[in-house]
Amino acid sequence: MIEGAYLEGEHSGLSVWVQDEAGPYQAIPQPGSSWQPEGEPARQPHEYIRGGTAKLLTLFHPLTGALRAKGVTSSANAVLHPWLEGELAEVLEALPTATALPEAENRARWEHWQEGLSEKVALPEKLPALRLLLVLDNLKGHKTASFVSWLIEHGVMPLYTPIAGSWLNMAESIQRIITRRALNGQHPTSADEVIGWLEATVRGWNASPTPFIWGGKRQARRERARARRPRLGGSGACAARPVA
């Protein structure tokens, strides 16, 4: 279902975003390469001093590479939900006005994104127009009734990755890029310093973002299967077996 969102969502007029929380990152010397003058290697302090921890809340749009993020010292629901609702409200405001559909067709559009799921989101009797698909990790806090209700009321369909399926969330990739650029080989001394470096790296990313495209396991299998099919001249058609 999540792969379908990446491959089909934007083409069907739905904006597809992914969300995750990265960290915690400790304010201690970080492993990784760093630029040092010749003959003066980087040295680590002999005392182990903890300077606190920081996390990074991320909301990412793979199609454009746009990244919305905020550094925090806690990602509890009381912090995450207000921030995410505010960011999503801005995203929705910038989207084109949704086309009104007949009630049955609109409900079918919502229910399409729950086909085959053993645990489905309870949809209310009256549904707004579906405007955005949001990929989230399968955490208890992401399924809080008040938060899910807010999403549905605003035309957002949550799609939860399965257990051990975090590789389906493209936010994992952008978080790894940001944290490596911000922290590798550095020695932050406080959580505020970690947050400052992370947010500065996010601003740098958004100055020239890179769009992401889905290339998961199923996509790779499909490409291998297509490569094995005999190609036919004159169009993009293939044959299931060599033409006699």
The single residue listed with the structure tokens 């749009």 is: 61
Which CATH number do you get for residue 125? 3.30.420.10
In contact, 182 and 197? CB cutoff 8 Å: yes
DSSP letter at 12 equals G
Q: What is the pTM of this model?
A: 0.82
Distance, in Å, from the CA atom of 217 to the CA atom of 26, rounded to the nearest integer, reads: 33
Domain region containing 189: 2-32+47-213
In a domain, 202, yes or no: yes
Give the count of domains, the chain.
1
Residue 55 lies in a domain: yes
In a domain, 104, yes or no: yes
Give the H/E segment covering residue 214.
none
Specify the pLDDT at position 193: 92
- Residue 5, both tokens: 């969102």
pLDDT of residue 229: 75
- Whether 227 maps to a domain, the answer reads no
Is the residue at 69 inside a domain? yes
Cα 114 to Cα 91: distance, rounded to the nearest angstrom: 23
Within-domain flag for 128: yes
Q: List, in order, residues 6 or more apart from 13 with CB less than 8 Å away.
A: 99
Is residue 239 within a helix (H) or strand (E), and if so which, with residue range?
none
Per-residue pLDDT of the chain (244 residues; tens, 9 = 90+): 787 777 777 777 888 999 999 889 888 777 777 777 888 877 777 776 777 899 999 999 998 999 999 999 998 999 999 999 999 999 999 998 888 888 888 888 888 888 877 777 888 888 898 999 999 988 888 888 999 999 999 999 999 888 877 888 888 888 989 998 888 888 888 999 999 999 999 999 999 988 888 876 666 677 777 777 776 555 556 666 675 5
- Looking at beta carbons, which pairs linking 164-167 to residues 24 or more positions away fall under 8 Å? 165/2, 165/138, 166/137, 167/216
In a domain, 228, yes or no: no
Residue 82 pLDDT: 94
d(CA 69, CA 58): 4
CA-closest candidate to residue 97, choices 159, 158, 13: 13
Q: Per the domain annotation, does 226 fall within a domain? A: no
Got the DSSP string for 140-188?
GGGG-HHHHHHHHHTTEEEEEPPTT-GGG-THHHHHHHHHHHHHTT---
